[in-house]
Amino acid sequence: MKSWPAPAVPSVPGSPLPVRIHDTARGDVVELAPGPTARIYCCGITPYDATHMGHAATYVTFDLLGRALRQAGHEVHYTQNITDVDDPLLERAARDGVDWTALATQEIQLFRDDMTALRVLPPDHYVGVVESVEAIADQVAQLVESGAAYPVPVPEAERGLVRDGASDYYLDLAQQPTFGEVSGWTREEMLSVFPERGGDPDRAGKRDPLDPLLWRAERRGEPAWAGGIPGCGRPGWHIECTTIALDTLGMGFDVQGGGTDLVFPHHEMSAVQAVGLTGEREFAQAYLHQAMVGLDGAKMSKSKGNLVLVSRLREQGVDPMAVRLVLLDQHYRHDWDWTEDLLVRAQERLARWREAVAREAAPDATEVVAQVRAALCQDLDTPAALAAVDAWCDAVGTASGAGQRVGDAVDAFLGIRL
């Protein structure tokens, strides 16, 4: 799929720094050790509604990771998927009486426009599920053939909707010793969120309530594709990210991520499926998770509808750089709620920064540029980076000639164009 135009990233003098981030799997801040090319994957949208601040926070966090890796001298290969066929999308299209592919196409374009406005670095591989169905079906077939996956007959109540003898396919977690290594969660913790995060613990015929769905047999009225061994149907959710990541980045890539709502089951299952397919131990070397953005105390989500939309703010004439500054004002590891006050504070800050970089008399940039770089590389500490620029602005007027350099550093490291 087409992604979106890349913003220019100015080059900034100074010594590269290694990048440290919090790895969910190890539960600690770790130094990344990519080769010359860093390979990163962020779970993309399910395109049934517009981009909200939670999505924006997640993709800005991955954008910052990309910027940090670039300043460290790496080339970055970045993959993002699009869940362009799944239950929530089909349900929304049915509710609104629209074609599901038209809904997806429209929301994907809106997302591209929002990401462009926020100056988010685009993925190198922007890959939809629909265009990957064949590759996904091949991997499901491999798991079936090796005995790692098993069929579960379609329930009695749905038999009228399927061809005779149709089965769904599940991964047999009992054969996967690495299961649990990404989240580190107990079985009780896993079971407590599984149903509300797309799981089906009560499905009759499963060997373990937590076994994830790999392939859903065609139901009449639902989209389906020839699947070879698993038969006509469509992919389960987690296997799409396993396949797209393995095909574009390969096993053992550097960072997998998304919002914290994906730690379990999505990232746990994506990883264990990849281990089952390749026999190698590590799907990703580290897992980066953006904490949840909320509104009035509840997680912002398309299903709840408590949304602050990037596109709506754009329509209202809000500068996207101010929206981006609201996101940078919060560290990615802490949950926070969107408020109007935060936006006002960001607008004031943006105006102040713009005025400061345009001044003829500005203090030397070397120290503040180094501080912004260091903050970015120290677990994407954007509040510290913003504080450093604020302090530099306080000193504007006492010395001369550095506005342009600070402007370039703010652009390259934080994606804010002044």
Footprint on this chain of ligand 5CA (rule: CB under 6 A): 43-46, 54-55, 57-58, 81, 83, 241, 258-259, 261-262, 290, 292-293, 299-301
Report the residue from 12, 38, 40, 43 that binds Zn ion according to the rule CB under 5 A: 43
Q: Which residues pair with 42 in a beta bridge?
A: 80, 257
* Nearest Cα residue to 69 out of 304, 346, 412: 412
CA distance linking residue 167 with residue 46, whole number of Å: 25
Nearer to Zn ion, 258 or 403 (CB): 258
From ligand 5CA, Zn ion, none, interface partner of 276 (C-beta below 5 to 8 A by class): none
Contact 415, 63 (CB under 8 A): yes
- Minimum Å gap between C-beta 370 and ligand 5CA is 30
* Radius of gyration over every alpha carbon of the chain, rounded to an integer in angstroms: 23
Contacts for 156 with CB less than 8 Å, ≥ 6 apart: none
CA distance linking residue 245 with residue 81, whole number of Å: 9
Other beta carbons within 10 angstroms of residue 138's beta carbon come to 13
385 binds Zn ion, rule: CB under 5 A: no
- Minimum Å gap between C-beta 45 and Zn ion is 10
Number of residues that bind Zn ion (CB under 5 A): 2
- Minimum Å gap between C-beta 266 and Zn ion is 5
- Minimum Å gap between C-beta 333 and ligand 5CA is 12
Strand 20-23 versus strand 28-31 pairing type: antiparallel
Interface of this chain with Zn ion, residues 292 to 311, rule: CB under 5 A? none
Which residue number is nearest to Zn ion in terms of Cβ? 43
- Minimum Å gap between C-beta 51 and ligand 5CA is 9
- Minimum Å gap between C-beta 288 and ligand 5CA is 11
Range list of β-strands (E), 242-365: 253-259, 284-290, 293-295, 298-299, 336-337
108 token code pair: 């994907």
From Zn ion, ligand 5CA, none, interface partner of 256 (C-beta below 5 to 8 A by class): none
Nearer to Zn ion, 244 or 389 (CB): 244
Q: Which residues pair with 81 in a beta bridge?
A: 127
Nearer to Zn ion, 272 or 321 (CB): 272
The edge-to-edge listing of strands for the beta sheet with 298-299 is 298-299, 293-295, 336-337
Nearer to Zn ion, 259 or 407 (CB): 259
42 binds Zn ion, rule: CB under 5 A: no
68 token code pair: 């940090």
Q: Judge residue 86's burial from the number of C-beta atoms within 10 Å of its C-beta, 0-12 exposed, 13-18 middle, 19 or more buried.
A: buried
- Minimum Å gap between C-beta 262 and ligand 5CA is 5
Nearer to Zn ion, 43 or 342 (CB): 43
Nearer to ligand 5CA, 241 or 274 (CB): 241
Binding site for Zn ion (CB under 5 A): 43, 241
